[in-house]
Structure 1
């Protein structure tokens, strides 16, 4: 322990200390500026060469991957290139073209095409007459068969009609499935008498790169991306299409109903980017970004650093890639394999930080050597100060240790109490979850019972009528009733399956459905519930009787049945004696609108925004599960339409269903 007088002497501001000659301020700032310039130069060079080396390594690995994918696609296309020509040489095909009206020859050709398609593992194989009408197809017995479809507007048929091999990638107008079409002309006497077509499904190719962080896409000679491992890039364009080309795509229906829009892809254009491309990349390779630069609220992603922003490689909210192009196929396709640049920039950032740290260590070492002499002179004086400070620190540590031990004991007690409280809270939450499950189970059972009431009532009516008809000997009418009963039982089984619409979206199966037939079926089911309620249908007279929409017949009837049933429930709840339900149908060139109105109490304003939410209902407990309108809205959206609700002036509610109009022959 130092003497008290010595301790006081150490802390006396007037006590003499070592005197050092002040350094020149100008020399110090000049030395610091030189160090900063050296640091910036070192970081810049390290970053540039690290990025160059990283891009070179990335280019080699990505080029190998691109070559492998291109070879895989080329081998697939080459394997099927001669299949249409072989099919065109078969005697059954030429016999069919010689007499296209002979059912026996059609059957033989259909069977042959089905066998060839199965062995070749193609999507479809079919024969088209010189008039453009499909005469036979491998899918002749399946829904959506190509037989009878007119393909004169398809470019691959037009090319084959001129004696050339037609190659075309498009979305099928009948199956809504994309594929690659190879068309081979069939000639006789120097004249094209027909065309054989093989359709290949190439979606497996884009799935080959779906598990990788490097996107893969294939575009046609117009720059339209038709295969992509990134779903959002498919059916986008690499550049804006001129109006004439847009009109051609629309006329040929190459991509059916898909709206083809440009993909925001641009080359990285900065001095550093151009230097990297010229020193590292080969022809057909470039640095690009996908996304709009300068977008509102865009921030640099993880991995961007000061160097990336300074040298023009910052993302600006966009993704940056090394793009490698490969020409594939005889149709002039271009395959692009995209490799993320972020790992390269992250590696360059790490190398730059390492170089900066090494530079800083060297600078610190130099400064340390410079200061060692000064530290030696100050050592003795500092030792006296440290001894005094150490004594004072020991006393403070002892006091602080005592405080910390008390606080630690208090914290342990609080932790124990909090653990006990959390255990009680978890037990309470488990009980609430179990109670909620039991309540939801009861609501679902009651809702499903409500949905089955209408078919059950119709079954009772048909069975009573059938018994009377049998007593009278009217067997034909009784047979019709029994057929209707069979349809109703099948429909009852499918009602419970509608809950799947909220578990996942099923594959869309749409066709042309007559609106009048769907409404007639609904009226037949709802008739037992009408009672004194007047139900009128307007807008289906004259030419409107053949109106058709793109939909699924059973699901469309389910939507209308739910809307009319809700209208009857609203009228019954209001106790109106002059109940009225109106179904109005109107159409434009593109859409068909069905409006269901009633003169009930209408929809409460607080219920209107939540009307289409699952399990929301305004009915009494046990009268419905609250899924009817939610399921109906989901079905209409599946058809590409819209379902809205509102109130009518003078009282009552109306539900408006807007669907896409179909010009094709509708199912009855």
Structure 2
């Protein structure tokens, strides 16, 4: 046959006379690479320009909202800035500070503060003595009255006690309500004799931005967010607080029992965001994201605009109020990014359409070159085909001659194989006949020995005149003769495959018959039979599916082997021979175990115990077929025969058969 590589001569560019294919080459790959590079460049530029324009528009609208929010908050603070000073100028307030224990003056100031607080619409207005104790308050008659509370620990009182205006945002320790505190010192004779305080509720401000998608928050001079349109961000910090500042918040009880923890607000830091910050974003403006609690990282941690987790925002911050507060207005970046993605996809689709047109033109030119190439290939293939046909014809003729020789050799081999098979069949028949003859001889040994024993006993009984006993022995001899006839009748199975006769057989009858046959050999042996005393199970005797003759044959072999074991040389002379037959009944099976107290089974013998012609007895005392035949019989009944060394010495053989629940026949 020609080598398969000959066909590649047409396709191999290195082969002589080969035709070169004008397929995709470096120029084609370069063209495709240029198209792909152009697509990537166009998508990148489109995305950057779209994000730049979107951020500029978003920054402008967010800055306008930030100015509006800041103006609203500052106007509210300015409106209440001079209220504590006006209250401190009232004569009744100064009179109370001069006589703080006078009930009439306390009542007059309380009424005055209630009227002022109602007209000004403040949360609370109260007067504190120089020692820090509240003397009068607008909520004096309410359950959470400020009267009698010590405020020396509050920073706004401490600053007012030094002659300065105190401004402070905190959660009330009495009312447990947050508010903005403005404290005005009351001076007399060049020293501070008391402080007037006005508390304002500013939670309306954070509700002003709650209905919008842009979060709004205000942080104090320490960076603690005390107003936020997002409830989860309130009382969080813009940055981790140092230990000394945490201790100060704890001592002043500014935020009462609130757990002040950092808000995971991280600046987006990447080459793209830095470029956007330099070209688009103004002062006090940055791109941030709010991650989940417990997320690792710190602000400025190398997080990109599109490859980060959490919510991304454009943050605009500005100072607000006289207390050093900072207000942040945050606008989501998702609409800007979505618009940029849409513009990028549109540009990519337009570029793809143009690229497809270019590819189509290039493919038309390529198809024209391919047609020319195919024509040249076809001519070359015709020439190669003629050459290969000639070579293949010569190879086929050689193969035919080789096949004819192989067919002749196979015909001769098959004739030799058939002759060998005929010889093997004849040898198998002779071996089977010999094995069966040996088995029948082995099985007849027990009945023949019993016949001799019964005949000797009968002669003795006749000499003694014991006719009844002799008659019983003669009946047993007749039964043995019939049984031997059944055994020899098994030779018929050699001529044909007759179905084995299987029916319900009573276990007690089989064991009794075996013990009767083995009675002469059992003389002087301790025999125990267990498990047959309570045979009535559901109104029927214990029975198994078997053939009574073959079942007795198996039990004869097992009992005979037990007798041989306890009569061997391995057992001590002072130890009496003992055989234990036990019947175990289960719902669907019956087990009969035969145990002796002989020397047991050697470990090297146990694996080969059921092999044909394997025996441990002396020559002439056994053929090694008893256990092999017994195993075959038990398997024929659908059961199992096992052997093991019993605990305490001796061997134990267990026959397990299927239980029969119908009335048993007489064995």
Local SS of the residue matching 2:47: helix
Per-residue deviation, 1:317: 2.7
Give the corresponding residue for 1:133: 133
Correspondent of 1:338 among 313, 330, 335: 330
Structure-2 separation of matches of 1:44 and 1:115: 66
User: 1:610-664 CA distances to partner (integer Å, 9 max, x unpaired)?
Assistant: xxxxxxxxxxxxxxxxxxxxxxxxxxxxxxxxxxxxxxxxxxxxxxxxxxxxxxx
Which structure has the bigger radius of gyration? Answer: 2
The verdict on how the C-alpha distance between 1:317 and 1:98 changes in structure 2, with shifts beyond 3 A counting, is same
Q: Cα distance, 1:333 vs. partner? A: 0.2
Partner of 2:210: 210
| SS of the residue 1:76 aligns to | helix
| Cα drift, residue 52 of structure 1 | 0.9
- Asked if the contact 2:225–2:236 (Cα under 8 Å) also holds between the matched residues in 1, the reply is yes
Tell me if 1:368 matches 2:364. Answer: no
Residue 269 (structure 1) aligns with: 269
For the residues of structure 2 that align with 1:295 and 1:144, how far apart are their CA atoms? 41
Match of 2:66 in 1: 66
SS in 2 for 1:312: coil
SS in 2 for 1:239: coil
Q: CA deviation at 1:315?
A: 5.6
Which residue matches 1:312? 304
Mapped to 2, the partners of 1:154 and 1:232 lie a distance apart of: 26
Gaps of 5+ in 1: 1-18, 299-309, 379-668
- Structure-2 change in CA distance of 1:29 and 1:315 (3 Å): closer
Instruction: Give the alignment of 1:648-663 within 5 angstroms.
Output: none
Conserved in 1, the CA contact under 8 Å of 2:264 and 2:295?
no
Q: Are residue 191 (structure 1) and residue 183 (structure 2) matched?
A: no
Distance (Å, rounded) in 2 between the aligned partners of 1:311 and 1:40: 22
Which region of structure 1 is more displaced relative to structure 2, 285-294 or 148-157? 285-294
Q: TM-score, normalised by structure 1?
A: 0.50
Q: 2: distance between equivalents of 1:191 and 1:105?
A: 22
Assess, with a 3 A threshold, how the Cα gap between structure 1 residues 191 and 336 changes in structure 2: closer, same or farther. Answer: same
Q: Which residue of 1 aligns with 2:119?
A: 119
- After TM superposition, give the deviation of residue 54 of structure 1 in Å: 0.7
Match of 1:155 in 2: 155
Return closer, same or farther for 1:190/1:294 CA change in 2, 3 Å cut-off. closer
Q: 2:315 aligns with which of 309, 320, 323?
A: 323
Match of 2:349 in 1: 357
1:314 Cα deviation from its structure 2 partner: 2.7
Q: Which SS does the other structure have where 2:257 is aligned?
A: coil
Partners of 2:343 and 2:120 lie apart in 1 by 53
CA deviation string 1:247-300 (max 9, x = no partner): 11000000000111111111111111111011111111111111159959x9xx
Contact 1:218 1:335 in 2 (8 A): yes
Distance 1:318 1:153 in 2: 40
Alignment partner, residue 244 of structure 1 = 244
TM-score (norm. length: structure 2): 0.50
Q: Is the 8 A contact 1:156 1:181 kept in 2?
A: yes
In the superposition, relative to structure 1, how do residues 171 and 354 fare at CA in structure 2: closer, same or farther (>3 Å)?
same
**Separation (CA, whole Å) in 2 of partners of 1:293 and 1:223:** 18
| Residue pairs, 1:313-462, within 5 angstroms | 313-314=305-306, 316-371=308-363
Q: How many residues align?
A: 349
2:75 matched to 1:92? no
Q: CA deviation at 1:369?
A: 3.6
Deviation of 1:25 (Å): 2.2
What are the Cα deviations for residues 139-181 of structure 1, in whole angstroms up to 9, with x where unaligned?
Answer: 1111100011000000000000000000000000000000000
How far 1:372 sits from its partner (Å)?
5.6
The offset of 1:23, in angstroms, is 3.8
Aligned-CA RMSD value: 2.4
CA distance in structure 1 between the partners assigned to 2:167 and 2:303 by the alignment: 44
Q: What are the Cα deviations for residues 530-588 of structure 1, in whole angstroms up to 9, with x where unaligned? A: xxxxxxxxxxxxxxxxxxxxxxxxxxxxxxxxxxxxxxxxxxxxxxxxxxxxxxxxxxx
**Is 2:22–2:369's contact at 8 Å kept on the other side of the alignment?**
no
Instruction: Please tell me whether the aligned partners of residues 295 and 316 of structure 1 are also in contact (alpha carbons under 8 angstroms).
Output: no
Match of 1:54 in 2: 54
Question: Structure 2: any 5+ residue segments left out of the alignment?
Answer: 1-18, 371-667
Q: 1:20 to 1:373 in 2, by over 3 A?
A: farther
Task: Give the deviation of 1:244 after TM superposition.
Answer: 0.7
> In the alignment, which residue of structure 2 is the partner of 1:483?
none
CA contact (8 A) 2:168 2:182 kept: yes
Aligned to 1:583: none
2:269/2:303 contact within 8 Å kept:
no
Partner residue, 1:234: 234
Following superposition, the deviation at residue 131 of structure 1 comes to: 0.6
In the alignment, the residues of structure 2 paired with residue 198 and residue 166 of structure 1 have an alpha-carbon distance, to the nearest angstrom, of 11
Secondary structure of the equivalent of 1:199?
Answer: strand
Change (3 A) 1:157 1:343: same
State the match for 1:449 in structure 2.
none
Task: Find the aligned partners of 2:350 and 2:313 in 1 and give their Cα distance.
Answer: 31
Secondary structure of residue in 1 paired with 2:347: helix
Retained in 2: the 8 A contact 1:129–1:193? Answer: yes
Deviation (angstroms), 1:311:
8.8
Provide the C-alpha distance between the structure 1 equivalents of 2:80 and 2:46, rounded to a whole number of angstroms: 51
| Pairs within 5 Å for 1:568-647 | none
Give the match's secondary structure for 1:363: helix
1:104 is aligned to 104
2: CA distance, partners of 1:118 / 1:277: 49
Equivalent pair of 2:167/2:181 in contact (CA under 8 Å): yes
Query: Alpha-carbon deviation of 1:342?
Result: 1.1
Measure, in 1, the Cα distance between the counterparts of 2:169 and 2:254: 7
Partner of 1:585: none
| Map of 1:258 onto structure 2 | 258
Give the corresponding residue for 1:428: none
- Per the TM alignment, residue 20 of structure 1 is displaced from its structure 2 partner at its CA by 13
